[in-house]
């Protein structure tokens, strides 16, 4: 027999597939023309279970993946873990006379078989063992074992590659499922329900139904906190893309030097700190919807980049990836008057045309007072659940109708905050809604009677402090004379805090008009 030819042919077969069970089966088919062979198994050492796990097997019916674990005797485990050099192969011709042989043939239900166990190492680490079985006792000789042992290295390399490949596939699968979960989380965070869909937001929802199933770009505009994200989410959920990602980008909250990499991703080493490749939000939104919130906050150079992506439907990661083709539905939102910004030259006209294909105006809460009791009741239920308050507290007489008399400059978000505060302060009810803003005489009259002397909530103190800084800065946020510098925080942090606390203030707001 030509051993070189045997080695060459077997090696080619062993390395012929990245699927471990296929490689194992092809090799088994070849080997059985030279050696007694009725089945071949691959196991890997699993320290976590103090034993081994069979991952694949082959016999004359083909190869298949398996997952059978076997605990090994303590003595053998100690030998493996101490790194003591065990023989490269073992011949077990009468398994019943050998402790290890007995365990293995019993577990695999190959009681009347002989076998050779060939240990595989890769770079000095124990990878696993190939077990070649033949029916009957005393089937294997030293010559058989030496011939099989010639294949140790190709087996080890091929099996290591196949196992790594399998690991990657498993990882990919778990990433896909994580992704699905996170996307569904994103969607539910934005709120699944549109309260007022049949009342104050009826016109809005009619438009949503009209446009949802198309790929048309939608522009949502309206004051801050009116529910633009809720509507963007509703469009996505009613579109054919509902099972694909819904990715939100708050264009005003990304530091300028990170906009490119956040939106379009980067290659490893593209800049200092880019120590791995990263997919940008656009790439993550592929096949789904991207929600570009606060689009008016994008600096001019980023507007140019965005326009190009919208036109070509292609992105390139920072650091030079080949163009990546995307299929994305774009929903943009702004609380600013983009038309006016175009006139003033701070927003590109071509980008404005591109995103203004189907504008939807979200009316402020004061223009739909009928929705206020609906929203308040809904928030009471939702927040009680979140805060673990049971039973859901009742509402003081007149408290709901008093809410409808407020002006709500922070819109639904402000109402949400007021409800949450009321729940924290009066968790057993009845609920009074203490409105911290003294914006109108109506408010002062209504709430001065209901306020119980409790310590001022921290948010309220922060809120007042921010408003004072904004007043001192004449509404300016950025720059050395802006409110952010006065408060010694980043302008984006200030904007986020203003958003969270429902503070509608500043030069932008004065510019907003329907």
Ligand X SMILES: Nc1ncnc2c1ncn2[C@@H]1O[C@H](COP(=O)(O)OP(=O)(O)OP(=O)(O)O)[C@@H](O)[C@H]1O
Sites of contact with ligand X (CB under 6 A): 191, 193-196, 201, 224-230, 293, 335, 412-413, 416, 499
Angle (deg, nearest 10), helices 491-500 and 458-472:
130
**CB-count burial class (<10 Å; 0-12, 13-18, 19+) for 455:** exposed
The residue among 259, 257, 246 whose CA lies nearest residue 295 is: 259
**CB-count burial class (<10 Å; 0-12, 13-18, 19+) for 480:** exposed
Name the residue nearer to ligand X (CB basis): 93 or 233.
Answer: 233
Smallest gap from residue 416 Cβ to ligand X (A) = 5
Query: Which H helix or E strand runs over 110?
Result: none
Smallest gap from residue 470 Cβ to ligand X (A) = 16
Name the residue nearer to ligand X (CB basis): 108 or 295.
Answer: 295
Rounded to whole angstroms, what are the CA distances from 346 to 221, 490, 509, 511? 17, 22, 15, 13
- Letter string b/e over residues 294-315, b meaning 16 or more CB atoms within 10 A of that residue's CB: bbbbbeeebbebbbebbeeeeb
Name the residue nearer to ligand X (CB basis): 151 or 230.
Answer: 230
Smallest gap from residue 269 Cβ to ligand X (A) = 35
Residues 6 or more apart in contact with residue 409 via CB below 8 angstroms: 223, 437, 439, 502, 504
Q: Which residue has the tokens 């009613």?
A: 238
Smallest gap from residue 236 Cβ to ligand X (A) = 13
Smallest gap from residue 233 Cβ to ligand X (A) = 8
Is the peptide bond between 465 and the residue preceding it cis, with omega within 30 degrees of 0?
no
Q: What are the DSSP E strand ranges found in 288-402?
A: 289-293, 314-315, 324-325, 329-334, 358-361
Smallest gap from residue 198 Cβ to ligand X (A) = 11
Residues 6 or more apart in contact with residue 377 via CB below 8 angstroms: 395, 400
Rounded Cα gap, residues 207 and 247, in angstroms: 21
Name the residue nearer to ligand X (CB basis): 57 or 375.
Answer: 375
Name the residue nearer to ligand X (CB basis): 218 or 412.
Answer: 412
Is the peptide bond between 430 and the residue preceding it cis, with omega within 30 degrees of 0?
yes
Residue whose beta carbon is closest to ligand X: 227
Name the residue nearer to ligand X (CB basis): 91 or 412.
Answer: 412
What SS3 class is residue 498?
A: helix
Smallest gap from residue 252 Cβ to ligand X (A) = 9
- Asked if residues 265 and 317 have their Cβ atoms less than 8 Å apart, the reply is yes
Name the residue nearer to ligand X (CB basis): 158 or 201.
Answer: 201
Name the residue nearer to ligand X (CB basis): 85 or 510.
Answer: 510
Smallest gap from residue 408 Cβ to ligand X (A) = 11
Smallest gap from residue 375 Cβ to ligand X (A) = 6
Name the residue nearer to ligand X (CB basis): 142 or 198.
Answer: 198
Name the residue nearer to ligand X (CB basis): 110 or 204.
Answer: 204
What SS3 class is residue 325?
A: strand
Name the residue nearer to ligand X (CB basis): 159 or 211.
Answer: 211
Q: Which residues pair with 431 in a beta bridge?
A: 395
Q: Which residue has the tokens 């104050």?
A: 200
Smallest gap from residue 220 Cβ to ligand X (A) = 8
Residues 6 or more apart in contact with residue 333 via CB below 8 angstroms: 219, 220, 221, 228, 229, 232, 291, 292, 293, 294, 295
Smallest gap from residue 314 Cβ to ligand X (A) = 28
Rounded Cα gap, residues 503 and 224, in angstroms: 9
Rounded Cα gap, residues 223 and 262, in angstroms: 26
- Asked if residues 293 and 331 have their Cβ atoms less than 8 Å apart, the reply is no
Smallest gap from residue 202 Cβ to ligand X (A) = 11
Q: What are the DSSP E strand ranges found in 48-112?
A: 51-59, 62-71, 89-92
Smallest gap from residue 466 Cβ to ligand X (A) = 15
């Amino acid at each position: 027999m030509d051993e070189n030819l045997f080695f060459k042919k077997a090696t080619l077969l062993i390395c012929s597939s990245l699927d471990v069970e296929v490689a194992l089966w092809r090799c088994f088919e070849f080997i059985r023309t030279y050696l007694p062979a009725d089945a071949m198994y691959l196991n890997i050492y699993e320290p976590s279970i103090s034993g081994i796990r069979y991952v694949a097997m082959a016999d004359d019916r083909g190869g298949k993946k398996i997952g059978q674990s076997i605990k090994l005797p303590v003595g053998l485990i100690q030998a493996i873990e101490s790194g003591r050099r065990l023989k490269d192969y073992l011949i077990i011709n009468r398994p019943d006379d050998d402790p290890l042989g007995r365990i293995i043939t019993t577990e695999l239900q190959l009681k009347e078989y002989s076998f050779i166990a060939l240990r595989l190492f890769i770079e000095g680490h124990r990878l696993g063992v190939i077990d070649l079985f033949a029916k009957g006792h005393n089937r294997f000789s030293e010559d058989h074992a030496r011939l099989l042992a010639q294949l140790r290295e190709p087996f080890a390399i091929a099996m290591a590659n196949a196992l790594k490949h399998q690991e990657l596939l498993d990882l990919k699968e778990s990433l896909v499922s994580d992704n699905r979960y996170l996307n569904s989380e994103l969607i539910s965070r934005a709120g699944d329900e549109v309260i007022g869909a049949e009342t104050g937001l009826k016109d809005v929802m009619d438009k949503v139904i009209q446009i949802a199933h198309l790929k048309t770009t939608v522009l949502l505009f309206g004051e801050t906190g009116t529910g633009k994200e809720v509507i963007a989410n509703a469009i996505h959920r009613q579109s054919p893309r509902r099972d694909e990602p819904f990715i939100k980008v708050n264009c005003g909250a990304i530091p300028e030097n990170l906009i490119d990499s956040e939106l379009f991703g980067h290659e490893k080493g593209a800049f200092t700190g880019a120590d791995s490749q990263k997919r940008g939000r656009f790439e993550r939104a592929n096949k789904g919807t991207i929600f570009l919130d606060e689009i008016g906050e994008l600096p001019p150079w980023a507007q140019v980049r965005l326009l190009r992506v919208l036109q070509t439907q292609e992105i390139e990661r920072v650091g030079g990836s080949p163009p990546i083709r995307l299929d994305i539905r774009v929903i943009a939102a702004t609380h600013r008057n983009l038309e006016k910004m175009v006139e003033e030259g701070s927003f590109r006209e071509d980008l404005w045309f591109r995103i203004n294909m189907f504008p939807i105006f979200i009316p402020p809460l004061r223009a739909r007072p009928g929705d206020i009791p609906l929203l308040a009741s809904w928030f009471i239920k939702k927040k009680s659940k979140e805060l673990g308050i049971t039973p859901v507290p009742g509402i003081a007489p007149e408290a709901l109708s008093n809410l409808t008399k407020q002006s709500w400059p922070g819109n639904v978000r402000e109402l949400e905050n007021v409800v949450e505060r009321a729940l924290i302060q009066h968790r057993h009810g009845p609920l009074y809604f203490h409105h911290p803003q003294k914006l109108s005489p109506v408010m002062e009259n209504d709430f001065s009677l209901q306020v119980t002397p409790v310590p001022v909530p921290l948010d309220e103190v922060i809120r007042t402090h921010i408003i004072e800084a904004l007043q001192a800065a004449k509404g300016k946020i950025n720059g050395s004379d802006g409110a952010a510098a006065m408060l010694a925080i980043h302008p984006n942090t200030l904007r986020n805090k203003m958003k969270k606390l429902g503070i509608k203030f500043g030069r932008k707001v004065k510019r907003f008009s329907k």
